[in-house]
Structure 1
Amino acid sequence: MRHDPALTAATLLALTGGPANITSVTHCMTRLRLGVADPATVDGAGLRALPAVLGVVEDGATWQLVLGPGIVDQVTAEFEEAVRRGRRAGPEAPESGTGTAAGAGTVAGTGATDSTPDPTPADSAPPRIPTPTATELAVRGERLRLGRRERNATPFKTALRRVAAVFVPLIPALIGCGILAGINGLLVNAGWLPGLTPALAAIASGFMALIAVFVGYNAAKEFGGTPVLGGAVAAVVVYPGVAKVAAFGVQLAPGQGGVLGALAAALLATRVEKWCRGRLPGALDVLLTPTVTVLVSGLVTLYGLMYAAGAVASAIGTSANWLLSTTGAFAGLILGGLFLPLVMLGLHQTLIPIHTTLIEQQGYTVLLPLLAMAGAGQVGGALAVYVRLRHDTGLRTTIRSALPAGLLGVGEPLIYGVSLPLGRPFVTACVGGAAGGAFVGFFAMLGDKVGATAIGPSGWALFPLLTGNRGPGTAIAVYGGGLLTGYAVGFAATYLFGFARRPDVAKAA
């Protein structure tokens, strides 16, 4: 079913309290992320009832609406335009019934009908344990979401989400440049188009060379500072002239500390700026605040943060290599098994700084292919549910609509529409992800490392970004084997252990 982005955006705006209630609008590959002034005015039930909304993650004043790849870009653009129009026009009463008809007769975020008739008459069917209908699953999912919201509203997790918000807007550029870097590598290895490869290398590497500036800009914006000041201080990290500066008796290198140093520099700049603005009179504020902010933060960055962040970044790379070379199978099992809960909570984006650091150091991140196995377990588990619950047409419709996105690594539709409300299939899907991660990690122990040149996609969509120490061919083979392992184990674990008792499925009339 195709959705009108303009109509979807208008409905979402009405259900989130209107233009006056929206404080921020961003998006990643699949989610529209909204900051709201008053969470109480957001109609959570109405949002979940929209067929276009595949899932909702609440965290106080931040709402994440899972819309899926492609559509999220269109809806975000329409949503931002609707907010601008609404603010120019002033407060208006929302149209009656806005968003209600869109979700009438459907299960929250699934598109399935509320009633699921059993094609077999009750008197001719053998006794069986009743299984949840799509409507009952939606109710369970709502309860789970409310419980998670209460348990996860901690300062630490809120801080992690804010750090993630710094990096999420960078994902499209990371994906585009990563794919170009992969294509360029293939051309160089094959000896093709030697006149074009230098240009491709420049295009693919330009963003990564200046990513610190973008991180600093976004960090200052997210944490309440002036974005351009955050970018200015973070630019110190990648400026070639830092090679003439020595800190702790060690000569600095341009880019030392990478995105971690840029993030720390921008956070410091925000704190200094806020301190200055609270103490300087208006006449001096416009001159002294930016000067003091850049000077103090820049000096601390040069003589402290770059050195410290560089040490942390080196430790991350060394630890990742050691972990995979010595305990690869076990590490893959843990990472692949625990990633789905992070996606469920919306915390998976907090790993972006680690991925980016590894890409800066080694040219690829070895963690992303391991984590991507969680999606394979989810797909296998959903297929098992589809086979086992043949009588539940509503749930099977949900699985059919969400499965293509799941194969491309977008797991939220299957999480919120199928496995999480059912309970046990969520756990068995994690088992499948753990098995796939162990498969990829085992080959890392043998010396065949698999990495991704960029972050963002997973599942089948990750194949164009794969590389490794043995070349892209070996990386693709190992990663493909991991996906098949995740599918198979996720299916088997869910089919055998995903239900309290195997339901007796009546033969179709």
Structure 2
Amino acid sequence: MTAPAPDAHHETATALLPLVGGAANVTSVAHCMTRLRLGLRDRALVQDEALRAHPAVLGVVEDDTTYQIVLGPGTVARVTPAFEALLTSAGEPGTGDPSDLSPGDLSPHDLSARGEAIKAARKERNATPGKLLLRRLANIFVPLIPALIGCGVIAGLNGLLVNLHWLPALTPALTAIASGFMALIAVFVGLNTAKEFGGTPILGGAVAAIVVYAGVAKVEAFGQQLSPGQGGVLGALAAAVLAVHVEKWCRRHVPEALDVLLTPTVTVLVAGLVTVYGLMYAAGEVSGAIGTAADWLLVHAGAVAGFVLGGLFLPLVMLGLHQALIPIHTTLIEQQGHTVLLPILAMAGAGQVGAAAAVYVRLRHHTGLRRTIKSALPAGLLGVGEPLIYGVSLPLGRPFVTACVGGAFGGGFVGLFHMLGVTVGSTAIGPSGWALFPLLDGEQGLAVTTVAVYAGGLLTGYAAGFAATYLFGLDEATLTAAPAP
């Protein structure tokens, strides 16, 4: 498929800005893998119906702090700069006039509105210190995902070339390209952590760099010689958080005339000593325990563990708890070269696709809803599940549960083969669905069996999600309700 021209991305940004209330209503702009994340002064100024109807918009997600417009991978990275450029021009605020919901109405707009109502009801429950901490963790690690994906794809290509004994002169260079970022990922975690917690990013990066510095091998802590990289991203995260607290203390107590000299010195010295003589060892123990636990769980209870993880992932996403898994994935990738959890969790998206397909088949006369599903299914196959979740399964209720059933069976399939010795992992986080194929890895590398097991899991998830939804996912009232005009 041909990528949209740059002018098309500018046109999309130009169309979206007035629909969110104009430049004066936007307080912040950021983006992740698939979503344009906006901070808004007045949520009521958003024209929800017109925004959802825009052809570039795949869905809308709202949390406690941001209004998130789902544009899809690739597109969002190109629309965001154009959107930011438009914010220099003043815009007239839009006006929102949401339609009242009518129970039993199955129009795509009202299904989306019902999904928004469900999310709004959860909003107060989700605004807890724990959830805010998880969101901060996501803000630290999500910006690293593009580099993880790029390096992961290159690592997969390099592994394929090595296995085929092709281009032996090129593979050492590809190894360096793919591995360079992972060798220094602790530094980037330190930079982002300090920025997120209100410190000076470069000081967080300086302290985190200690974790990967080769010279720490000469240091002894707790009766052991430290090793470069010990503690990994968790050690870097803890070191940077400590650096922020030390820096803030210095800003309050150090005289202004001496601040430029003493504050960075004291911050790096104190946080660095604690990192070397405490945090690296402690974080190393935690990181090792994470890897051991993941391997033990899948080797000894792979099918059951996969069933549970695949079935619970969609609810975890709805509650925002999936963000706690990002550091775990990153730690496993840093330790083992891949995370064995992501391919299992990706099965939740397969269950979602199967459930949506069953709704499409059963509700033959609801052309509007079928049109929504038809437009959202390609994104769902590529792992972008928000349009199907918030536009179809969650508002309808039962299909969300049966989608979880599909994810459980898909996860159980992948977990079962892990017990049989076929490890399926991912060299990066972010993509799922079909988009995960280039990132697959395992103990045998990117082997035919690795790809086959992951593909079998997707097919199992599709089939189980479809069957569960077709048989149990739609009640009589939904099946007999007249379609909205």
Q: TM-score, normalised by structure 1?
A: 0.87
Instruction: Give the percent of matched residue pairs that are identical in Structure 1 and Structure 2.
Output: 70
User: Contact 2:21 / 2:95 at 8 angstroms: preserved in 1?
Assistant: no
Q: Which residue of 2 aligns with 1:359?
A: 333
Match of 1:76 among 62, 77, 80: 80
Deviation at 1:149, TM superposition (A): 1.1
Q: Which residue of 1 aligns with 2:281?
A: 307
Q: Which residue of 2 aligns with 1:291?
A: 265
SS in 2 for 1:278: helix
Q: Which residue of 1 aligns with 2:228?
A: 254
Deviation at 1:39, TM superposition (A): 5.7
Deviation at 1:425, TM superposition (A): 0.4
What is the CA–CA distance in structure 1 between the aligned matches of 2:44 and 2:110, rounded to whole Å?
Answer: 26
What is the CA–CA distance in structure 2 between the aligned matches of 1:173 and 1:400, rounded to whole Å?
Answer: 32
Q: TM-score, normalised by structure 2?
A: 0.91
Deviation at 1:18, TM superposition (A): 5.4
Deviation at 1:345, TM superposition (A): 4.2
For structure 1, list consecutive stretches of 5 or more residues without a partner in the other structure: 87-91, 109-113, 116-128
Q: 1:390 to 1:469 in 2, by over 3 A?
A: same
Q: Deviations over 1:460-509 (max 9, x none)?
A: 11111112123421111111111110000000000010111273599xxx
Q: 1:353 to 1:42 in 2, by over 3 A?
A: farther
User: Contact 1:131 / 1:503 at 8 angstroms: preserved in 2?
Assistant: no
User: Contact 1:339 / 1:371 at 8 angstroms: preserved in 2?
Assistant: yes
What is the CA–CA distance in structure 1 between the aligned matches of 2:365 and 2:34, rounded to whole Å?
Answer: 31
Q: Please say if 1:160 is aligned against 2:134.
A: yes
Q: Which residue of 2 aligns with 1:119?
A: none
SS in 1 for 2:474: coil
Q: Which residue of 1 aligns with 2:449?
A: 474
Deviation at 1:61, TM superposition (A): 2.6
Q: Deviations over 1:206-235 (max 9, x none)?
A: 000001111111111111111111111111
Q: Which residue of 2 aligns with 1:503?
A: 479
Deviation at 1:447, TM superposition (A): 1.5
Q: CA RMSD in A?
A: 2.7
What is the CA–CA distance in structure 2 between the aligned matches of 1:350 and 1:42, rounded to whole Å?
Answer: 32
Q: Which residue of 1 aligns with 2:69?
A: 65
Deviation at 1:283, TM superposition (A): 1.3
Q: Which residue of 2 aligns with 1:55?
A: 59
What is the CA–CA distance in structure 2 between the aligned matches of 1:292 and 1:452, rounded to whole Å?
Answer: 40
Match of 2:302 among 306, 309, 328: 328
Q: Please say if 1:215 is aligned against 2:189.
A: yes
Q: Which residue of 2 aligns with 1:318?
A: 292
Q: Out of 54-63 and 454-463, give the one that drifted further.
A: 54-63
What amino acid sits opposite 2:479 in the alignment? P
User: Contact 2:218 / 2:225 at 8 angstroms: preserved in 1?
Assistant: yes
Match of 1:484 among 459, 464, 478: 459
Q: Which residue of 2 aligns with 1:121?
A: none
What is the CA–CA distance in structure 2 between the aligned matches of 1:261 and 1:214, rounded to whole Å?
Answer: 12
SS in 1 for 2:199: coil
Q: Please say if 1:273 is aligned against 2:247.
A: yes
Q: 1:229 to 1:479 in 2, by over 3 A?
A: same
Q: Please say if 1:233 is aligned against 2:203.
A: no
Q: Please say if 1:43 is aligned against 2:46.
A: yes
What amino acid sits opposite 2:38 in the alignment? L
Match of 1:26 among 5, 13, 30: 30
What is the CA–CA distance in structure 1 between the aligned matches of 2:321 and 2:16, rounded to whole Å?
Answer: 23
Q: Deviations over 1:86-135 (max 9, x none)?
A: 4xxxxx4x336x587xxx9x999xxxxx99xxxxxxxxxxxxx9662223
Match of 1:399 among 355, 369, 373: 373
Q: How many residues align?
A: 475
Deviation at 1:451, TM superposition (A): 0.6
Q: 1:432 to 1:416 in 2, by over 3 A?
A: same
User: Contact 1:389 / 1:505 at 8 angstroms: preserved in 2?
Assistant: no
Q: Deviations over 1:326-364 (max 9, x none)?
A: 111111111111111233345434322111111111111
What is the CA–CA distance in structure 2 between the aligned matches of 1:275 and 1:405, rounded to whole Å?
Answer: 47
Q: Which residue of 1 aligns with 2:362?
A: 388
For structure 2, list consecutive stretches of 5 or more residues without a partner in the other structure: none
User: Contact 1:236 / 1:242 at 8 angstroms: preserved in 2?
Assistant: yes
What amino acid sits opposite 2:460 in the alignment? T
What amino acid sits opposite 1:67 in the alignment? L
What is the CA–CA distance in structure 2 between the aligned matches of 1:21 and 1:241, rounded to whole Å?
Answer: 50
Match of 1:189 among 145, 163, 170: 163
